[in-house]
Structure 1
Amino acid sequence: MPATSRLEHVLSESDATVTALLEDLVGEPVEATDRRHRATLAAAPNLLGVAPGHPLLHRSAVLCGATSGQPYLQAQSVLVPSRLPGSFCRQLETGPVPIGHLLTKDGIRFTRSALPKSDELDPSTFGDAPAPVVHLLARRYRIDVDGVPAMVIGEWFLPALDPFLGSPSEGVAAP
């Protein structure tokens, strides 16, 4: 099974946050590095169901092994701060905490809805942020909190994950 298919299988079998899944897969904590945050305003139309001009937070980060420093995932996120606990966005902006850690720590119940596959970023959602040239898999999804869209996330799983996905003959057990 190719690495992309093995990764898709692991992701489809897990209901954990991507952060928790990565930590289980690579055997080390991950942290958000190369973080960039920018306040922005919603365009029309948008995937978050907010009015044009509604305040949003754009975040880009690379999830790396806290011990190894290996980059495992690049992410672009657009969040609706008014639909999240007040401390959530402040913690994202001030430390290396991944979104998945905050969702778990704050006990936020959420659902994830897949969006159309795309290796390219949607300029109406993510602006002009570059996607990584080399990646194993790209995906986009929306996170709803209490049934209301709260963020859109684009993820690119990076080649440093490949050794943790098992050899083609081994397959991958879901975490």
Structure 2
Amino acid sequence: MKFGSEIDFSDMLASGLGALILWVFVFFAAFWLGTTTGAAALAAGDLAEDGILNRDWFGGLFSKPREAILLWGLPGALGLAAFWLHFARLGGGGAIRWAVATGMFALIWVAMWVSRLDSGWFPATVAWTTCVLGIGMMATGLWFLRQWQTNRWAGELAMIRSENAARRMELKEEFGTDSAGADEMGPP
């Protein structure tokens, strides 16, 4: 830990700006994946409507983001600002936070455009169901990624524990002292 004159302002500024750029990138990646998931759900609803994908309407989902922002800009601006602050300020749980943001964007995207599906409740139901299933698949993939990381870390911790035990045995033979690791001591 650095104290007093040892604190380097340029390092702090660079790490702060780097973290800010990373958060903005992650936030917009969640926005992009959420809108893409919502657009795919709307395409499924449009396809369920009459069996034909209306390419002009579907192309409009991606070519008119300004219209989408303006349609939901006023009511959603405060919500998105509050979510951005919540998203940026929370520590830990990055994958879960990202999944929640992506799911929220997908649901908002479907809510914005589902009224443009023509013939009643069936296409809307297909769009909402597809959106929820897409969010569920994304969350399941993130859960499997987290389990894989946890298992990898458990293997690395086991290797470190065995190396520590071997080092304690060497110290006992060399100096005649007994020492115990935190895992051998038990809870305090």
Q: Normalising to structure 1: TM-score of the pair?
A: 0.22
Kindly indicate which of the two structures has a greater share of residues assigned to helix: 2
Greater Rg, structure 1 or structure 2? Answer: 2
Considering fraction of residues, name the structure with more strand: 1
Give me the TM-score of the superposition, normalised by structure 2. Answer: 0.21
